[in-house]
Structure 1
């Protein structure tokens, strides 16, 4: 068809443009840096931090400290009461409202300059997929994006909504006819009611691309199967592309492919309210440098990195892409054309390639287990579980990990893994041992603690069916862009889970 033919031509053009800036990363980031400083020098933040005297990254570091949302909140509050030229020139188009952990709701500005970057990144990811694979048939069928409500609150000085809802207003016209669910269905607040409505609306459609956080897409698939009594691939024979972000897909992949009934291509994205940072640009991976997602150096974002193990030191070193190394766990710091400056988004990443720059998300700087100095991170628990699943055929719906520092009498402390199984292992102890061995292989501190009899090997606790959904519902975070933390250094979440005795 004409649409898919034209998509292939357009995809080749866009791929050339993307790899043109990717081949000159330092120059690309230098241009972004200079443009950001020049554009914001007459804002309140720019005047407060002497942007007119900033010529180099060193100048910037001297004047702009690393901040989280709390550190920028006084500026955001000025924007919320209608003041212009505070963090970025003029006023933001929107605030993306997100759930904060320490500060309540966070209001992240989205500006006239940053909004196109959010939209073009998602489009580029699909076009690079077409350019590499030649597969463009999905543009002729229906596409579904499982997301939050597109409703916008315009009662304040700046319109406010969820990021996914804001982005829904900017879907290109040529995709609107193909896009599901309907506006009315998307506006349903209750997630389970919404998914039921989406099932009814899509079950007889020619769905070809499905997008969303894996855990919630999994719920959609389960409800489809319950409704039709058939695998997803039988319901949607032309469904061949799954687009996801927010969490690592690998722990879900085996169960998802079981629900679908076959393998489908997937594209990983790294979007956030603060910016769209990276997307998977390669399907056919020939080496480790092809793993991960292409870091978007040309999207109005200037990146800094701090070695995660040094982050809480008094004056950790801040570096740019010029000095990063492969395989090191970094906290990612951003400055953007939405007016975020030296901003800690909370995510940790590692580079898988330096030519071009590709990253994987390794976790959250606040999400780790180090009750005994082991500093276990999200990537490690995900890869360990993935290893065990791949070697047993077990299917996992959801999981999280927490330390047990006060075990029963005569027991050593341990890491407790809370897993909701779709298909349980025949031998739970052997399955636990596979995970534990892989954890010891990845994390030498954990290995030393096990060897030194400070910790005993991990223990798995089985979570009741839909137990994680029940927890998320109880805290008002069922569905949308919300997800279960992979691990925590306390037991606040796991103590609320219902377990199988």
Structure 2
């Protein structure tokens, strides 16, 4: 065994020991974080505007700090972009993580010197938790590849600015840099397809043991390799043992990915966002991701069905319930306050607090009051695939069809199959049945003849890749929304439908 794999085991034991301490006292851990960040920011512009010096407890905080999304926080971000300091957090941010927005275009999310450890240490600790639980560490001695955005940084108001994955790349620990791939020069290529070919050039003859990236783009990497060398990935990378991913549900991609690899490999799920590293999979035996309660983020939770209310309920960690859908709100040492990142989560455990990501607040279908969310769509698809052996999905998205040319409205599923079902109608009925089990409102609409059974539009090979290419969002951390309450994506996918 190499030096990395040997030294990782005592380090993993220490990190997990520390992790168990704060996880055993969740409310105390969160209150410590709460007091620390509110105290640190009381002399900032935001702190003065919201009376931070008078805040004694969480009840005070809720009265004085409203829930905001990026558009509502933007006036403070604009002040930082004009060169002002002490706006959301003391001093100026170390970085801006640049990410796609909707109403306001590009979003600039601050990352401070105090918040950098949240991004860096959390990724490291996810791996160390795996090492400690399984005893496996040999994969740390091989080559490691991170399929991510370019690490090149621009400047805004003297603040380094770029994609989160590119910023994080500058903070990869030195002991991992010697076996990290691809090269910095290749990683800086902006065009995804050109970059992917260069990555393959550099990695195809290397001893790859760990691969990290969003599943559809890792699948694309594997497909391009196999186009050059007609072998399963396990024969090309015989020591490939660990797959790390985040940002999307792995289940729809798992069967095809493992088939391409030629064997199952262990995986670690992470939940990183530009706003903060939220959670990671700390156990191969337990469901869910460990919520990081002592990493500079104070979490709040709003019942998802109250999110658009004037005064929604706001809860601390010790007030949540298992199985309920919550909008995730963060307050952090990056200077984000009452900030809605747009995700919804469900708790699957309280000892310790583990979550699953259930969807996006704005990614749902409720054209008729059914409020179908991403978690339900993905569970329905997963259950259906268990009944249709051999059927494999490349990607899919769902939209309402409100005004069909004839008949009742319905949900329209745009699916790119790697292996399509022989009987598509039977597949549709099974998928619809499983969705009805998960969402009683949807079931009621079908029983009441308001909606009819869902319909599938089968897409041509490479449809989603071509769609993302058309948007200039091919590769990196970009992903297709699983569902929407309008037909913008559906209309854009129309040219890729099979006849």
Residues of 2 paired with 1:412 and 1:201: CA distance? 54
Check whether the contact 2:81–2:156 (CA below 8 A) recurs between aligned residues: no
Residues of 2 paired with 1:244 and 1:16: CA distance? 24
The 3-state SS of whatever aligns with 2:479 is coil
The 3-state SS of whatever aligns with 1:268 is strand
Q: Does the alignment pair 1:118 with 2:119? A: yes
Check whether the contact 2:243–2:265 (CA below 8 A) recurs between aligned residues: yes
Gaps of 5+ in 2: none
Q: Counterparts of 1:221-370 in structure 2 under 5 Å?
A: 221-284=222-285, 290-370=286-366
Q: CA deviation at 1:104?
A: 0.4
Q: CA deviation at 1:9?
A: 1.3
Q: Does the alignment pair 1:396 with 2:393? A: yes
Residues of 1 paired with 2:309 and 2:155: CA distance? 42
Aligned residues: 495
Q: CA deviation at 1:473?
A: 1.1
Deviations 1:214-272 (A, max 9, x none): 11111001011111111111110111111000000001101111111111111110000
Residues of 1 paired with 2:450 and 2:50: CA distance? 48
Q: CA deviation at 1:159?
A: 1.0
Query: Match of 1:441?
Result: 437
Gaps of 5+ in 1: 285-289
Deviations 1:410-464 (A, max 9, x none): x111101000011111111111122111101100011111111111111110011
Deviations 1:379-405 (A, max 9, x none): 111111111122213111100000101
Query: Match of 1:184?
Result: 185
Residues of 2 paired with 1:216 and 1:92: CA distance? 31
TM-score w.r.t. length of structure 2: 0.98
Residues of 2 paired with 1:197 and 1:487: CA distance? 33
Residues of 2 paired with 1:175 and 1:45: CA distance? 38
Residues of 1 paired with 2:4 and 2:468: CA distance? 41
Query: Match of 1:456?
Result: 452
Query: Match of 2:403?
Result: 406
Q: Does the alignment pair 1:144 with 2:145? A: yes
Deviations 1:81-102 (A, max 9, x none): 2211110011110000000011
Q: CA deviation at 1:154?
A: 2.9
Q: Counterparts of 1:96-115 in structure 2 under 5 Å?
A: 96-115=97-116
Residues of 2 paired with 1:461 and 1:433: CA distance? 14
Q: CA deviation at 1:155?
A: 5.8
Structure 1: 4+ residue segments shifted above 3 A = none
Query: Match of 2:18?
Result: 17
The 3-state SS of whatever aligns with 2:104 is coil
Which among 456, 461, 468 is matched to residue 472 of structure 1?
A: 468
Q: CA deviation at 1:3?
A: 2.3
Residues of 2 paired with 1:80 and 1:378: CA distance? 35
Query: Match of 2:498?
Result: 500
Residues of 1 paired with 2:256 and 2:313: CA distance? 42
Check whether the contact 1:370–1:376 (CA below 8 A) recurs between aligned residues: yes
Check whether the contact 1:82–1:158 (CA below 8 A) recurs between aligned residues: no
The 3-state SS of whatever aligns with 2:155 is coil
The 3-state SS of whatever aligns with 1:479 is coil
Check whether the contact 2:245–2:267 (CA below 8 A) recurs between aligned residues: yes
The 3-state SS of whatever aligns with 1:154 is strand
The 3-state SS of whatever aligns with 1:175 is helix
Check whether the contact 2:154–2:160 (CA below 8 A) recurs between aligned residues: yes
Residues of 1 paired with 2:385 and 2:147: CA distance? 26
Q: CA deviation at 1:408?
A: 2.1
Which among 477, 483, 496 is matched to residue 481 of structure 1?
A: 477
Q: CA deviation at 1:197?
A: 1.0
Q: CA deviation at 1:488?
A: 0.3
After superposition, the CA RMSD in angstroms is 0.8
The 3-state SS of whatever aligns with 2:432 is helix
TM-score w.r.t. length of structure 1: 0.98
Check whether the contact 2:234–2:240 (CA below 8 A) recurs between aligned residues: yes
